[in-house]
């Protein structure tokens, strides 16, 4: 984010950027963090998502990484809001599998 037009509004310096980088934060590998990235995203965005998933896997995290062809950071949300969406199905499976999460009806 720091090296693109978005930083014109965010004004991130290197220190702030590193402090807020998910890969630099303490990782809780006992909880799954499924990572999805759009296949239509910029190559750098895809690379960072792959790197983050690879890093977490190296720490022993068990989770899903999936690139969704043709999706970008706007259209990938359809996969969360649609009952047939890949992200929604993954979320439902996580809720069913992880009994520590209370399901409110």
Mean pLDDT confidence for 31-48 = 94
C-alpha distances in angstroms, 61 versus 6, 9, 15, 17, 39?
A: 31, 34, 27, 24, 23
> What is the dihedral sign for C-alpha 2, 59, 95, 71?
positive
Q: How confident is the model at residue 47 (pLDDT cuts 50, 70, 90)?
A: very high
Identify the DSSP state of 102.
P
Facing residues of 66 across strands? Answer: 36
Q: Which token pair is 66? A: 């999936």
Tell me the per-residue pLDDT of 48-99, one tens digit each, with 9 for 90 and over: 999 999 999 999 998 999 999 999 999 999 999 999 999 999 999 988 876 5
Concatenate the DSSP letters of all residues of 27-54 into one string.
P-TTS---EEEETTS-HHHHHHHHHHHH
């Amino acid at each position: 984010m720091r090296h693109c037009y978005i930083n014109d509004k965010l004004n991130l310096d290197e220190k702030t950027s590193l402090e807020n980088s998910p890969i630099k934060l303490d990782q809780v590998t006992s909880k799954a963090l499924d990572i999805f990235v759009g296949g239509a995203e910029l190559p750098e965005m895809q690379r960072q998502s792959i790197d983050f998933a690879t890093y977490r896997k190296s720490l022993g995290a068990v989770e899903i990484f999936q690139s969704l062809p043709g999706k970008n950071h706007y259209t990938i949300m359809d996969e969360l809001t649609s009952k047939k969406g890949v992200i929604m199905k993954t979320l439902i499976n996580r809720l069913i599998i992880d009994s520590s999460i209370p399901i409110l009806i």
